[in-house]
Structure 1
Amino acid sequence: MPKTKTKSDPNLGPRIRKRRKQQGLTLQALCDKAELSVGYLSQVERDNATPSLGTLAQIAQALDVGLEYFISTPKPEDSLTRADKRPQFSIAGSSIVYESLGAALPGAELSSYILHVPAGYESEIVHHEGEEIIYILDGEIEQTLGGEVFHMTQGDSLHYSGSTPHSWANRTDQAARILWTGTLNVLHRKDAIRMPTPMAANDNV
């Protein structure tokens, strides 16, 4: 079993706790997945114990990230994305394509995507922790926030709390693109389907 903490990365425990909460896991759920005791993992998250490399690998696997997520220091170039090489994916059952702008920085809270929204798309009503900012790059979007409807066109933006019930729709016959930034991470969803190549801005999906 890993030893009591002496000197180590003071951010390791908070990074693990933050990632666990991003994944919606309780401490017990993470312990079950990583095959660790609640008491020990609680000490790790409070930086009162330092996990061995093997134990940290178990935690990383249970949190659906690589070991480097906790032990590597990203280089500035790791955060650069090129327009023609950005990762793209879709969620099973959805016609929207997400283009990832953010980097997997240890402990990062923000996520950012370009959403390619086909004509006629309408989302479900959702609410969750965190906050969101949307900026309309192309096309038109009808955003409903707390029962109030906002008709948004190119250049418009909206910043709101995720706890407010919200939904949006593209009621036109043209595709739209939205720049989305927030604290809700969809990149690691297990039902994500990677796209083979970047799509053009005006493609319907």
Structure 2
Amino acid sequence: MAQGTTIEPTKLGQLIRKCRQQRKLTLKELCDKAGVSIGYLSQVERGNATPSLGTLAQISHALDLGLDDFVARPKPVDAVSYARQRPTFSISNSGVTYETLSSEFPGHELSSYIMNCPPGFVSETFQHEGEEFIYILSGSIEKTLDGEAFVLREGDSLHYNGMTPHAWKTLGQTPARMMWTGTLVVLQDPVKNWLPGQDGSGK
């Protein structure tokens, strides 16, 4: 596995606050745009809470920034993802590490990662546009969709609409490893999103 990049919660919170203030947004205004609570975002800005990848993506999208403005995520230069050279990153002390599988090219819609999740990990509840597909490579998790829980083990998969409230946790004493693929547009850098008819100039 390639060397990853870890973001400290204090520095991440300071950066989010700085970007919010530069845009002259109140805490409430950013929360309304990002779909998170004022109390939670306040904790994040003070470095007392660590956002998940999905929440960080919602915040960055609300600030009209790409996820890469907060996560030093290397970009593959071609379509091949070699197991021993795969770019990885993590978000502070959540314990979850992400291996980048997908590449970027004009018009791409999918993002894909391998998620390595420690025993005892419990996510927050998410709800967003787009769709998600997960495939369990090893270990087991409990995935909750709109209040209904499903136990997924090695070889199991799940495909769902991101607007369905969803959360998950690692089961047992061993790490869970799963592939995540989705059309979660806020995971894409809006500056580099190319659309037909825009001559590659981006949004």
Category of TM-score, reference length = shorter chain: 0.5 to 0.7
Name the SS of the counterpart of 1:84 in structure 2. helix
2:104 is matched with: 104
1:122 is matched with: 122
Superposed CA RMSD: 2.8
User: Structure 2 counterpart of 1:78, which letter?
Assistant: D
How far apart, in 2, do the equivalents of 1:91 and 1:63 lie? Answer: 15
Equivalent position to 1:24, from 61, 66, 85 = 61
Name the SS of the counterpart of 1:24 in structure 2. helix
TM-score by length of 1: 0.55
Aligned pairs, number: 125
8 Å Cα contact 2:67/2:188 also seen in 1 = no
Shift in Å, 1:186? 4.0
Cα deviations across residues 138-183 of structure 1 (Å, max 9, x unaligned)? 0011000010000000000000000000000002110110110001
8 Å Cα contact 2:115/2:177 also seen in 1 = yes
How far apart, in 1, do the equivalents of 2:171 and 2:98 lie? Answer: 19
User: Structure 2 counterpart of 1:128, which letter?
Assistant: H
Quick check: which has more Rg, 1 or 2? 1
How far apart, in 2, do the equivalents of 1:96 and 1:187 lie? Answer: 20
Name the SS of the counterpart of 1:121 in structure 2. coil
The percent of aligned pairs where both chains have the same amino acid is 48
- Give the 5 Å matches for 1:1-205: 24=61, 78-184=78-184, 186=187
Unaligned runs of 5+ in 2: 1-57, 69-76, 190-203
Name the SS of the counterpart of 1:81 in structure 2. coil
Unaligned runs of 5+ in 1: 1-20, 31-61, 66-76, 189-205
Name the SS of the counterpart of 1:79 in structure 2. coil
TM-score by length of 2: 0.55
